[in-house]
Amino acid sequence: MKRLIDTKLNNFKLRFADVNDVPLILAFIKELADYEKMAQEVVATEEVLRDSLFQRKMAEVVIGEFENKPIGFALIFHNFSTFLGKPGIYLEDLYVKPEMRGKGIGKIILAFLAKLAIERKCGRLEWWCLDWNEPSIKFYKQLGAVPMDDWTVYRVDNEALDNLAREFVE
């Protein structure tokens, strides 16, 4: 039986996902990608998620349920700060169905993740936000989140990742 975690909002509970939630997780990922105008970038499959999340345990998923219906999720994993000498929790995705927004659900999920970070002796909780997503930016700032304006995210993927990896052996 799935362990439900009570929240301050009536009829809203959280739980950690299990392998049976893989189709739901993929559906949420696709909904989020559609919202972020990035649907064409989703190449994840149920098989890949099952392996990454539940076999190799590379990340964890928290599911939010309102009146016993899944209405959102957060996908997290641990990173590490050498300066702090402690792990952190990185929030890869936070998604709440549009019809459920404005009820405090996102704040409750973030508060749960903050509590989890403290329980796990993490030094921080962090995430990225798209520059155009003004509603989310405003929301995050109201929570006390600070944008890291002095930092630029760099990414190596696809062909560039393959090319860089070949530099090791050639």
Catalytic residue among 90, 95, 140, 154: 140
* Residue 35 annotated among the catalytic residues of the structure: no
Reported for 51-57, long-range contacts at CB under 8 A and 24+ positions apart, including other chains, are: 53/17, 53/19, 53/22, 53/25, 54/18, 54/19, 54/22
Distance, C-alpha 84 to centroid of its chain: 22
Rounded CA-CA distance 35/95 in Å is 10
For the annotated catalytic residues, the residue numbers are: 140
